[in-house]
Structure 1
Amino acid sequence: MSDVMPDRGKIIAVTGKGGTGKTVISTLFVRFLSEVDVPLAIDADPASSLPAALGIEVKRTIGDLREEIARPSAIPFDESMPTDMMLEKKIGELLINTPDFSLLTMGRSEGPGCYCLINDILRHAIDRFSKRFETVVIDCEAGLEHLSRRTMRDVDTLVVVSDPTMRGVKTAGVIKEISDQLEISFDQIYLILNKATDEDRAFFEDKIKEIGIELAGVVPQDENVKAFDRVGKPLIDLPADSPAVLAVREIMEKMKLIGG
């Protein structure tokens, strides 16, 4: 084994069709990784569901920083400091640190225009802060936005979450196809079939093979997730014997993200 340390931590991105349960999977990834180290969780979805799932209240986001940059009078810049260092400092002020994990939230843009600047800031944040953490978990926006804008260009492990529907699996295939076309390579790419049964696994297994993604495992429908969501309880606090928690632990062991 080489004694040379990597210049950044392992980056894990979780993506997929909307409504498949990406945030549940991302939350449980953070939970198990925090047993080993202090991971960085990045909510890269403008819907901003990850903070609540982690039990965190966010007051400022990358979207807020974008608005401040768009109004130069609102944010004092030190002209003696290089722009990239100043930007890194401002992004660092958005980090929420807990004993178990740190969190950075993309948020929404309140002003007119596209998300180009927010995505640029997010890409800069991933580049810079992945050097400070052993692992980074990114809860991506549903669809192909971050792939098409190459925000996810340095991801080590891409996890595509699908529900047990043909639409979900086809979306996973499109994500794989687009990443190939854009020449975005991953060390590992897996599909997790969420809210599914063993019968669903048997039905979709061959179809998943056809799209060229390895099936990491199946996460069953979990009534505890429904109950927690109903009252707004953080999903990171799901019981240790909850079906989704047990399944995700097994999947992460298979993917060698945590030890067995």
Structure 2
Amino acid sequence: MRIALAGKGGAGKTTLSATLSLLAARGGRKVVAVDADANPNLAAALGAAPAAGRLQPVPVSLVSRRRGGTGLLEPVNTVLDRYAAAGPDGIRLLGMGGPAHADEGCLCAAHAVVSSVLEDLGAPGRLVVVDMEASPEHLSRGTVRHVDAVLLVAEPYYRSLETVRRMSALVAELTVPYVAVVANKVRSTGDREAVEEFCARHGLAFAGAVPWSDAVGAADRARVAVADWPGTGDVLTAVQDVAASLGRITGRRLLG
């Protein structure tokens, strides 16, 4: 099962990606977490050692153009063994790679690498969680065309919902089987209802809501995973509920 999380910048994609990855790994799932953002933060959100945050990207030389896109020249398990960093609870962490210098051009090759890796990561029993960047470029380039589901993360206000609306239209043009919306940083019943109404109006599945918590910010400042920080039980329960809801939508088990 391959899940990509998308949404407006600051909506909470990285926090939810890390929390979902940790809960799944602690439930016995084999998890690969892909930081598909040129400004990587997923390792820190997982509470990984600083060394894991300096991910060695899969080199472009391992990707070849083929009919219909690009593909890996080596088995994906070999690529994982060589380039994935060891994260907490057995999570294997892959990075997209980003610019080393200013004015060095686009990240076209990095997107091709992510697309190729995702295509081959679809092994049974493996959960792949992809933390996307805020830009819709992953969608316009079709970088995540091979995932099984896109989870659109929305804060309960207009600009965030507008971003989800635009992204959902792009996802609909890809071959992604499922798309759903999760409301994040919800402070009231009205917040949740606003996102549910938005989903109903635009024909989108609603996967649940995650409450606002000051403890999430405290965990981030301490470089500790939300799953390991005191006072985040309501957030963890909500993420488990979202995973269960997405599992019902896709017919695939996410957590152990």
Match of 2:83 among 69, 81, 94: 94
Q: CA, structure 1 residues 142+133, in 2 after alignment: closer, same or farther (shift >3 Å)?
A: farther
**TM-score if structure 1 supplies the norm length?**
0.81
CA distance in 1, matches of 2:179, 2:193: 20
Equivalent AA in structure 2 for residue 97 of structure 1:
A
| Deviation at residue 225 of structure 1 after TM alignment | 0.5
The corresponding residue for 2:30 is: 38
**TM-score if structure 2 supplies the norm length?**
0.82
Greater share of strand residues, 1 or 2?
2
The corresponding residue for 1:156 is: 148
Q: Is the CA contact (8 Å cut-off) linking 1:55 and 1:236 kept in structure 2? A: no
| Deviation at residue 60 of structure 1 after TM alignment | 3.5
The yes-or-no answer on 1:84 pairing with 2:73 is: yes
1:121-165 Cα distance to aligned partner (Å, 9 max, x none): 111222233338611110011131111111111111110001111
| Deviation at residue 203 of structure 1 after TM alignment | 2.8
Q: CA, structure 1 residues 85+234, in 2 after alignment: closer, same or farther (shift >3 Å)?
A: same
Equivalent AA in structure 1 for residue 8 of structure 2:
K
Q: CA, structure 1 residues 144+232, in 2 after alignment: closer, same or farther (shift >3 Å)?
A: same
Q: Is the CA contact (8 Å cut-off) linking 1:224 and 1:242 kept in structure 2? A: no
| Deviation at residue 239 of structure 1 after TM alignment | 4.2
Larger radius of gyration: 1
The corresponding residue for 2:14 is: 23
The corresponding residue for 1:114 is: 106
Question: Could you say what secondary structure the match of 1:130 adopts?
Answer: coil
The corresponding residue for 1:62 is: 57
Q: Is the CA contact (8 Å cut-off) linking 2:76 and 2:120 kept in structure 1? A: no
The corresponding residue for 1:11 is: 2
The yes-or-no answer on 1:195 pairing with 2:185 is: yes
Q: Is the CA contact (8 Å cut-off) linking 2:215 and 2:231 kept in structure 1? A: no
The corresponding residue for 2:211 is: 220
Aligned pairs, number: 233
The corresponding residue for 1:6 is: none
The yes-or-no answer on 1:205 pairing with 2:169 is: no
Question: Could you say what secondary structure the match of 1:161 adopts?
Answer: strand
CA distance in 1, matches of 2:155, 2:212: 10
1:59-86 Cα distance to aligned partner (Å, 9 max, x none): 33327x45xx6xxxxxxxxxxxxx8129
Gaps of 5+ in 1: 1-9, 70-82
1:158-192 Cα distance to aligned partner (Å, 9 max, x none): 10001111111111111111222xx3133321101
Q: Is the CA contact (8 Å cut-off) linking 2:16 and 2:239 kept in structure 1? A: yes
| Deviation at residue 19 of structure 1 after TM alignment | 0.5
Q: CA, structure 1 residues 258+49, in 2 after alignment: closer, same or farther (shift >3 Å)?
A: same
Q: Is the CA contact (8 Å cut-off) linking 1:18 and 1:142 kept in structure 2? A: yes
Q: Is the CA contact (8 Å cut-off) linking 1:239 and 1:245 kept in structure 2? A: no
Match of 2:137 among 121, 132, 145: 145
